[in-house]
A and B are shown apart, each in its own frame.
Chain A
Amino acid sequence: MQRYILSKKNQITLISGILIVIGFMSKWTVENMDVFKWTLIIASILGVAPIAIQAYQALRVKVVSIDVLVTIAVMGAFMIQNYEESAIVTFLFLFGAYLEQRTLNQTRSAIKELIEMAPDSALKLMENGEFEEVDIDDVEEGDVLLVKTGAKVPVDGTVLSGEGYINEATITGESVPVEKKEGSKVYAGTILDNGTIRIVADRVGEDTTFSKIIELVEEAQDSKSEAERFIDRFAKYYTPAVLFIGLVVWVITRDIELAITILVLGCPGALVIGVPVSNVAGIGNGARNGVLLKGSEVISDFSRLDTIVFDKTGTLTMGNPSVGEKEYYGDNIDEALIFLASIEKESDHPLAKAVLEEIGDVQFLPVENTEVVKGGGIVATVNGHRVAVGNVHLMERENVKLGEKAKADIARFEKNGNSLVLTSVDGELKILMGVRDQIRPGVKEDLQRLRKLGVKNLIMLSGDNQGTVDLVSRELGLTEAHGNMLPEDKTEYIKRLKEKGQIVAFVGDGVNDSPSIALADIGIAMGGGTDVAIETSDVVLMNSDFSRLPHALGLVKATARNMKQNIFIAVGVVLILLASVLFSEWMNMSIGMLVHEGSILAVILNGMRLLRYRLR
């Protein structure tokens, strides 16, 4: 029975909400006080049932939870036949719990999704020499496994034979596929984009890098629940204090009505609703402006931020390489571009995609005699012309003369952090393109806005080489920038910052960032990133829109301020009410209730101001 009632908590909340609405409608429209009374009585009894059960379970193990306090308050209101208060208080309490649960479930599905991304089977070499599909738990170190195109690598291992390109985004965050051949290391959870490989298992089960990421997320998620404990800590002193005062008053005056009035007045009505209302309004404003804030703890931490740590790829930069600079030499450039596009169309090299995107739609020509030059590029015949596409080495091999201007251009492109794609037609340089991961437009201005909002340190961590990292850092004017960092280096770095007492936000996108996102005081995910990063995070910037970040920070600061104002109003009103009921003649229950309800109205109106908040 107890369990049944608890499992129907959401339905109970809904029904009690509807009953309250019906009750007030009949009071205001047809002035039927009987309907008003009975609907609220039923709503109260229904609503208090699950709360009372939880209170009982808690009391049995000697824990005074907030359920206990609410139950006593509601019973008190019921005893003095104030069904209005009893019904509304239970409804608000249940509805608040429901909202809490919703956000919590979202946070948690992150782990579930991570686990679902883990491989569950493998093709294992059996004693008869055939590969058979086996459960992932039956794979041991030293087993030989087959991985086909499109399949997940089941364990951490070393390639025995075969070649292919693996998308290691789950581990490194870089979605550019990495070439794997004999002797290369491969990681569980990564995906073989093309090719077929045989691997030997080095680490299996919980020892794989991927499993460790899962564990990191789990641990990090539970390393923060201080704000939640505050609620109970508050209740621990506040409501017993009110109860105690009520009891003392009853003992001294023998006036039950007065004692219960104190309980009703002291019942943290505006307090219960004041903070959530600021939250809901702040979160609502965010949602309309592309910022998803997950829950209330996030807001208070986020508003006190010292340091923001950024992932580079996909966060400060676009994440997919594109052509940033280009130079043309000599005549017939249009023709050369068509040749280039025709050749690149047949290549699966990461740079080829960027080049094709740059050129756009053209009429492709047939390509013949394609020769792949290792570590150089491609040489082929198009329309009877010998076309070479590749790096400087390839041009030297093809005896292409590089003029003074071309040499200067190449030096400049390289200095700006580009990978080079040169195109020659019949031994003459025609096109030079610089491909790189572009900095997101407007990021620099957004970072300045963040500084203005009081962020002290802007730090970038990246798996990329230090040279590229320094380049981006200088361009953006960051406080610090570190390259060559693995996911665990990033979490280690964040841990150190936290130990120094800083409040740290981490902004990232890939699954590899999940541990950092979960560990940081505020984990911020770029919405275009992986689902796991989004769900592990505290804040999501929708559509990967970096410019939402300053708005988000300004908004949480406003929301935190608003929350403090509401607490001030609620506590202030309660104190004044309690004082006047004890020390003045004019206070009675109906005036008290009026002020009480007025304070609730005041905090709601104050909270609603947040809906119009805009960053100036």
Chain B
Amino acid sequence: MKGEHNMKSATIQLETLTCPSCMLKIEAALKNLDGIDKDTVDVSFNSSKVKLNFDEDKISIDEIEKAINKVGYEVIKSKVK
């Protein structure tokens, strides 16, 4: 799914993460979404950030944020490049 699609990379700043299993939860929630390049999903624990590549034709940044909200975490801001 690389190349021919409208791939963007996003950096999402979350509220402070406090437990290692938070990472697993967010990772699992995001990898279930269609349009996200699963191999690029990277949840960093200490800086409480998520980095991922996604296909803008299939999914919007808003939908990604909602998925994170659903497992119980607040999104503070996100940057899309």
Please list the residues of chain A having a beta carbon within 8 angstroms of any beta carbon in chain B: 2-3, 6, 53-54, 57-58, 60-63, 65-67, 97, 100-101, 104-105, 107-108, 111, 218, 221-222, 225, 228-229, 231-232
Q: Is B28 an interface residue (CB 8 A)?
A: yes
Question: A221-B46, A222-B46 are contacts. A61–B18 as well, Cβ < 8 Å?
Answer: no
Bound-state Cα–Cα, A303 to B72, Å: 37
| Chain B contacts with A in 57-81, Cβ cutoff 8 A | 71-72
Bound-state Cα–Cα, A108 to B18, Å: 11
B19 & A63 in contact (Cβ 8 Å cutoff): no
Question: A58-B24, A61-B29, A65-B21 are contacts. A218–B45 as well, Cβ < 8 Å?
Answer: no
Nearest A residue to B45, CB-CB: A225
Question: A57-B72, A108-B46, A111-B47 are contacts. A231–B18 as well, Cβ < 8 Å?
Answer: no
Bound-state Cα–Cα, A108 to B46, Å: 7
Bound-state Cα–Cα, A61 to B24, Å: 9
* B1-31 interface bits toward A, Cβ cutoff 8 Å, 1 = contact, 0 = none: 0000000000000001011110011001100
A228 & B20 in contact (Cβ 8 Å cutoff): yes
B45 & A57 in contact (Cβ 8 Å cutoff): no
Bound-state Cα–Cα, A61 to B32, Å: 9
* Listed residue (B21, B32, B48) with the most chain A CB atoms within 10 angstroms of its CB: B21
Given A2-B72, A63-B24, A108-B16, 15 further pairs, Cβ under 8 A? A53-B72, A57-B72, A58-B24, A61-B71, A63-B25, A66-B21, A67-B21, A104-B16, A108-B46, A108-B47, A111-B47, A218-B49, A225-B45, A228-B20, A232-B20
- A interface, over-half SS: helix
Q: Is B40 an interface residue (CB 8 A)?
A: no
**Across the interface, which residues of A come within 8 angstroms of B48, CB to CB?**
108
A65 & B18 in contact (Cβ 8 Å cutoff): no
Bound-state Cα–Cα, A218 to B49, Å: 10
Give 21 A-B contacts (CB < 8 Å), ordered by A residue. Answer: A53-B72, A54-B21, A58-B21, A60-B71, A61-B25, A61-B29, A61-B71, A65-B24, A101-B18, A104-B46, A107-B46, A108-B47, A108-B48, A218-B46, A222-B44, A225-B45, A225-B46, A228-B20, A228-B45, A229-B20, A232-B21
**Across the interface, which residues of A come within 8 angstroms of B32, CB to CB?**
61
Nearest B residue to A63, CB-CB: B24
**Across the interface, which residues of A come within 8 angstroms of B28, CB to CB?**
61-63
Instruction: Give chain A nearest CB distance to B79 CB in angstroms.
Output: 11
Bound-state Cα–Cα, A225 to B24, Å: 13
Bound-state Cα–Cα, A12 to B30, Å: 31
**Across the interface, which residues of B come within 8 angstroms of A53, CB to CB?**
72
Neighbour of A222 across the interface among B18, B25, B45, B71, CB < 8 A = B45
Instruction: Give chain B nearest CB distance to A65 CB in angstroms.
Output: 4
Question: A108-B46, A221-B47, A222-B46 are contacts. A65–B72 as well, Cβ < 8 Å?
Answer: no
Instruction: Give chain B nearest CB distance to A375 CB in angstroms.
Output: 47
Enumerate the 5 nearest inter-chain pairs by beta-carbon distance, A residue then B residue, closest first.
Answer: A65-B21, A222-B44, A61-B28, A221-B46, A228-B20
B18 & A104 in contact (Cβ 8 Å cutoff): yes
Nearest B residue to A518, CB-CB: B46
Bound-state Cα–Cα, A357 to B47, Å: 44
Please list the residues of chain B having a beta carbon within 8 angstroms of any beta carbon in chain A: 16, 18-21, 24-25, 28-29, 32, 44-49, 71-72
Instruction: Give chain B nearest CB distance to A129 CB in angstroms.
Output: 36
Nearest B residue to A58, CB-CB: B25
A105 & B19 in contact (Cβ 8 Å cutoff): no
Question: A58-B24, A63-B28 are contacts. A100–B72 as well, Cβ < 8 Å?
Answer: no
Nearest B residue to A67, CB-CB: B21
Nearest B residue to A56, CB-CB: B72
Instruction: Give chain B nearest CB distance to A420 CB in angstroms.
Output: 48
Question: A3-B72, A61-B32, A61-B71 are contacts. A232–B18 as well, Cβ < 8 Å?
Answer: no
Bound-state Cα–Cα, A104 to B46, Å: 8
Instruction: Give chain A nearest CB distance to B59 CB in angstroms.
Output: 17
Bound-state Cα–Cα, A6 to B21, Å: 15
A100 & B19 in contact (Cβ 8 Å cutoff): yes
Bound-state Cα–Cα, A60 to B47, Å: 25
Bound-state Cα–Cα, A60 to B71, Å: 8
Bound-state Cα–Cα, A97 to B49, Å: 21
Instruction: Give chain B nearest CB distance to A144 CB in angstroms.
Output: 29
Nearest A residue to B24, CB-CB: A63
**Across the interface, which residues of B come within 8 angstroms of A232, CB to CB?**
20-21, 24
Bound-state Cα–Cα, A66 to B19, Å: 10
Bound-state Cα–Cα, A58 to B20, Å: 12
Nearest B residue to A101, CB-CB: B18
Question: A63-B24, A108-B46, A111-B47 are contacts. A57–B18 as well, Cβ < 8 Å?
Answer: no
Bound-state Cα–Cα, A54 to B19, Å: 11
Bound-state Cα–Cα, A225 to B21, Å: 12
**Across the interface, which residues of B come within 8 angstroms of A105, CB to CB?**
16
Instruction: Give chain B nearest CB distance to A66 CB in angstroms.
Output: 6
Instruction: Give chain A nearest CB distance to B75 CB in angstroms.
Output: 14
Bound-state Cα–Cα, A41 to B64, Å: 40
**Across the interface, which residues of B come within 8 angstroms of A65, CB to CB?**
21, 24-25
**Across the interface, which residues of B come within 8 angstroms of A222, CB to CB?**
44-47
**Across the interface, which residues of A come within 8 angstroms of B49, CB to CB?**
218
**Across the interface, which residues of B come within 8 angstroms of A100, CB to CB?**
18-19
Bound-state Cα–Cα, A283 to B14, Å: 30
Instruction: Give chain B nearest CB distance to A579 CB in angstroms.
Output: 30
**Across the interface, which residues of B come within 8 angstroms of A6, CB to CB?**
72
A218 & B47 in contact (Cβ 8 Å cutoff): yes
Neighbour of B71 across the interface among A57, A97, A228, A231, CB < 8 A = A57
Bound-state Cα–Cα, A54 to B47, Å: 21
Instruction: Give chain A nearest CB distance to B30 CB in angstroms.
Output: 9
A231 & B16 in contact (Cβ 8 Å cutoff): no
Bound-state Cα–Cα, A62 to B72, Å: 15
Instruction: Give chain B nearest CB distance to A605 CB in angstroms.
Output: 29
B18 & A225 in contact (Cβ 8 Å cutoff): no
Bound-state Cα–Cα, A218 to B51, Å: 13
Bound-state Cα–Cα, A66 to B44, Å: 20
